[in-house]
Amino acid sequence: MKRQIIIGALVVATLTGGAWSVQAGPGPDDDGPALHEVGGEHGKMDSERHVARLAKKLKLTDAQEEQVQAFLKGEKERVAPLREKLRENRKQLRQAAEADTFDEAAVKTLATNQANLQAELIVSHLRVQSQIHAILTPEQRELAKKLHPMERGKGHRRHRA
């Protein structure tokens, strides 16, 4: 059972991968990457294409595909304030790094806040994965295992910097 949940979560991660992708371009408030954001219409199109491609491979029904889109849309709306908090916190971290004097306590507080916000985003992402997993048929779950070889550690290689 636990293995099925993990496999399902990985399949759903593939389905929702584009929803919270990291864009290479600058964020709206800085010159760094906009983490956890989908970049405008381009990101929206990528997400929709990704879901449509996997829906076809998994042979999702129209109703299932609509449910997946609804899950993604609802969660995107719920995490919008979270993404804004992440953006603001990142800005404050950058300002702390550029300050004339280093305030370790302030940086630790900001870093802890950033970690907590990222944890909330992970929970949100996994919530959507769970919702999508719940609507897949056993056959679709089996097909998803074949489409995504990384779930049981197969094909997974760590990249070293």
Residue by residue, DSSP assigns 67-114 as: HHHHHHHHHHHHHHHHHHHHHHHHHHHHHHHHSSS--HHHHHHHHHHH
| pTM given for the model | 0.61
pLDDT tens by residue, the chain, 161 residues: 554 444 444 444 444 443 333 333 334 444 443 333 344 444 555 777 878 888 888 899 999 999 998 998 999 999 999 999 999 999 999 999 999 999 999 999 999 999 999 999 999 999 988 898 899 999 998 887 787 655 444 444 544 44
Tokens 């609802």 locate to 74
Alpha carbon distances (Å) from 156 to 105, 109, 138, 148, 161: 38, 35, 24, 11, 16
Q: Which residues pair with 26 in a beta bridge?
A: 33
126 exposure class (CB count in 10 Å sphere: 0-12, 13-18, 19+): middle
Tokens of 33: 């990457």
The H or E element that residue 54 is part of is helix 40-58
Give the CB-side neighbour count of residue 145, counting CA atoms within 13 A. 12
Beta bridge pairs of residue 33? 26
